[in-house]
Amino acid sequence: MQTVKLDLAHAPYDIHIARDLLTQVELIKPLLLQPRVVIVSNATVAPLYLKSLQDALEAADIQCHSIILPDGEVYKTSETLNLIFDELLTERCERKTTLIALGGGVIGDMTGFAAAVYQRGVPFIQIPTTLLAQVDSSVGGKTGINHPLGKNMIGAFYQPKLVLADLATLDTLPLRELSAGLAEVIKYGLIDDLAFFEWLEANIERLMARETEALAYAVERCCQNKARIVAGDEKEQGQRALLNLGHTFGHAIESGLGYGVWLHGEAVAVGMMLAAFASRELDQISDDDIARIESLLKKAGLPVQAPQLGNERYLDLMAQDKKVDAGKIKFVLMRCLGESYIGELNRETVIAALDAGCSSV
């Protein structure tokens, strides 16, 4: 078992990474404030893993209740959140009852937000079952729901007590979801870890084949990178925004096409391509760099061409982003391969990037 520590002064916690962690209740039990948990999962993941988790908890005399939500980004809404509250209140869950998120990014974000605001805050644990959630969304305490006018617009910074990344749950992950997770994996290489980007170029086939050793290394490396960045800037006042590489364009794609049409990771992959094109416009990265990014994304089974929403629609959707300050949109751009920074783009550069990214490749 590998363990990455997230060193936040007020709330440090462990991220454990290994196969078959799901039933290792001895990792969970010491953290509970009362022998009672509520597991939040979805209709896809629950049939696969809920019983194992629940049996293990109950064998350790921990009372379990489960809430099964419909699966998909389209359900990451205030309506679904209210279903969680209804159930927590009907079950008379208390301030010391721990919520456990068992699922991918949507389940983790919603469960975390429910934990942040139910009775003004109850403890929660993340058990991410997708690659995307294991390398990114379960770590760092960003929680929230979507609004028809923007993704993740309502939420909280609220840290879990523990993250259990059980690599065995990736065995059942649909290929499309594996690829979506790899988009966030590749993102860490592009942010500030050229060595990891090069490791990915050499090992992408092993990851696509789900070799445990390769997956374990990638998840650990991503969590280490994320933990370092988050520990330095928990509330995203500065450098944490680097983790949004590809996300400003990506959120516009998700929101513009309708949540769930593209997976988040797919939108981020194309978002990174657009950020690369914008950076090339600024004479920062080369055609050769872009070719390497595109090649790696393609080998990871990801799209590299942006959907045709129309430039004005893209600009309008991005103007709603959380990183907007005084009307100016902030972008994460690439100074060179493996080194990103936070900057601004003028309208012409955004349009040039969109023109390059939307044209048929």
Q: Are the CB atoms for 188 and 226 separated by under 8 Å? A: yes
Whether 294 is catalytic is: no
> Does the annotation count 264 as an active-site position?
yes
> CB 97 → its own copies: shortest distance, Å?
10
| Residue in the block written with tokens 């969680």 | 84
In Å, the largest CA–CA distance within the chain is 62
Task: Give the footprint of its own copies on this chain (CB under 8 A).
Answer: 34, 78, 82, 85-86, 89-90, 92, 94-96, 113, 116-121, 142, 144, 147, 149-150, 152-157, 235-236, 319-320, 322-326
Could you give phi then psi for residue 79, rounded to 5 degrees?
-65, -45
Q: Is 107 annotated as a binding residue?
A: yes
Based on CB atoms, which residue is closest to its own copies, 59 or 319?
319
Q: Which of 42, 177, 234, 247 is catalytic?
A: 247
Give residue 311's identity as a one-letter amino acid code: N
Is the CB of 130 or the CB of 146 nearer to its own copies?
146
CA distance 61 to 180: 37
Shortest distance in whole angstroms from residue 44 CB to its own copies? 27
120 is a catalytic site residue: yes
61 or 288: CB nearest its own copies: 61
- Tracing tokens 């942010």 back to the chain, one arrives at 191
Q: Which residues contact 216 (CB under 8 A, 6 or more apart)?
A: 2, 17, 18, 167
Q: What is the DSSP string of 22-66?
A: TT-GGGTGGG-SSSEEEEEEETTTIIIIIHHHHHHHHHTT-EEEE
Instruction: Respond yes or no: is residue 328 known to be catalytic.
Output: no
264 is in an annotated binding site: yes
Catalytic residue among 187, 221, 240, 280: 240
3-state secondary structure of 216: helix
Smallest distance, its own copies to C-beta of residue 291, A: 36
Least distance in angstroms from the C-beta of 90 to its own copies: 7
Please, which residue, 82 or 286, has the CB nearer to its own copies? 82
User: What are the binding residues for Zn(2+)?
Assistant: 184, 247, 264
Q: Catalytic amino acids?
A: 120, 142, 184, 226, 236, 240, 244, 247, 251, 264
